[in-house]
Amino acid sequence: MEKEAAQPGYWDEPRIAQNKMRQLGRVKEIVDLWRGLESESGSLLELIELSLIEGDSTLEEEFQVELDALKSNLARQEINLTLSGPYDDRSSIVTIYSGAGGTDSQDWAEMLYGMYLKWGEVQRRPTQVLDLSYGEEAGLRSATLEIGGSNSYGYLTSEMGVHRLVRLSPYDPNHLRHTSFAQVEVIPVAGEDESDISIRSEDIKLDTFRSSGPGGQNVQKVASAVRLTHLPTNIVVTCQTERSQHQNRENAMKILMARLLDQQNKQRAEELAKLRGLRVSAEWGNQIRSYVLHPYKSVKDHRTNYQSNNPEAVLSGELDGFIEAYLMSQVGNEG
């Protein structure tokens, strides 16, 4: 790939060249990582063999620390090897929708929104808020954000589904226990080279309106918020977080492209399932994970049985255990 990049005429078609260069960057990153692991393990093995020959045990503790670090790194790469889907290496668009439960569920949607923002921060991933729709009293009706970085979509597929919260409600005058639900949707960002996805300008209906904040109050005097309706599919996308109508339209188009790609992939999956005689369900289904804050503290994933007794840490972005348990559970389910 590097030899090809050095050939004359490589940049004659800039879009193709840019995609190839991005792919080259990803491949080099993988090769460098595994060559580095190979070098580290070889050096450590040589040092251990030398100490055994010389009967020197003074470095045993240091060797153990290096070995543990190497094993930990290898375990992370084993997780990465599960990410072989065609879109796993892409950025992801995460949308949280409040479910049944009124203000409590809208507050729960905002808590999940904060959890994914913090996960992106902990992981040092670029994160952009694309849209927020506020509840009338508190919380969010929905929130959409883009999370980038290596294998973002591959990791966050583990979060798709219904999340359930059990707690003493701060919105109940009697402070009774409430159960709230929110749905998390995760789709890959559409690439610039998605040649089979085209959006004609005549297929889009554009509406503008004033952005609203908490309590439904208009936060701007000008109509900067954007609503796009894709007429052939009736997919509706709104964006209102930016002050610029142009920026909101760009963000809305990004979400629309991703949703069209997702719809296309689902149609292909359904067609393949019909050929194989499989049943495809489009229902919400049961919750994938329960977060209990009262009468005890626990977060449990019902697909893997992975559990944490520290919900505060999970809601502060410590999701890796849940993500890794889910990805490893899918290895045996492939095919």
Residue-wise pLDDT for 307-334, tens only, equals 999 999 999 999 999 999 999 888 756 5
Count the alpha carbons within 13 Å of 267 in the hemisphere toward its beta carbon: 7
Q: What is the pTM of this model?
A: 0.78
Among 47, 80, 113, residue at a domain's last position: 80
Provide the domain count of the chain: 2
Contact 208, 223 (CB under 8 A): yes
pLDDT score of 282 = 42
Confidence of residue 283 (pLDDT cuts 50, 70, 90): very low
Same domain for 61 and 97, yes or no, is no
- What domain range is 42 assigned to? 2-80
pLDDT at 103 exceeding the cut of 50: yes
pLDDT at res. 287: 87
Last residue of a domain, one of 53, 80, 107: 80
Of 38, 55, 80, the residue that ends a domain is 80
Q: Average model confidence (pLDDT) for the chain? A: 87
Whether pLDDT at 204 is above 70: yes
- Co-location of 212 and 315 in the same domain: yes
pLDDT at residue 335 in the model: 45
Tell me, yes or no, whether 194 and 293 share the same domain: yes
Are 69 and 210 members of one domain?
no
b/e 214-233 (16+ beta carbons within 10 angstroms → b): eeeeeeeeeebbbbbbbeee
For residues 144 and 214, state if they share a domain: yes
Q: Is there a single domain that holds both residue 118 and residue 45? A: no
Contact at 8 Å (CB) between 124 and 174? Answer: no
Residue 100: is its pLDDT beyond 90? Answer: no
Residue 212 has pLDDT above 80, yes or no: no
For residues 127 and 148, the answer to whether their CB atoms sit within 8 Å is yes
Binned at pLDDT 50, 70 and 90, residue 140 comes out as very high
Residues 158 and 101 in one domain: yes
> 176 and 193 share a domain?
yes
Residues 62, 145, single domain; the answer is no
Q: Write the pLDDT tens digit of every residue in 107-120.
A: 999 999 999 999 99
Question: Are residues 159 and 72 located together in one domain of the fold?
Answer: no
Q: At 174, which CATH number?
A: 3.30.70.1660
Tell me, yes or no, whether 279 lies in a domain. Answer: no
Q: Residues 204, 136, 187, 292: what is their CA dihedral angle, to the nearest 10 degrees?
A: -170
pLDDT, mean of residues 267-272: 80
DSSP letters spanning 236-298: EEEE-SSS-HHHHHHHHHHHHHHHHHHHHHHHHHHHHHHHHT-----S--S-SEEEE-SSS-E
50 & 126 share domain = no
Q: Is residue 144 situated within a structural domain?
A: yes
CB contact burial 2-19 (16+ within 10 A = b; e otherwise): eeeeeeeeeeeeeeeeee
DSSP state of 192: T
Dihedral (C-alpha) 76, 82, 83, 85: value to the nearest 10 degrees?
A: 180
Show the tokens assigned to 87: 């879109």
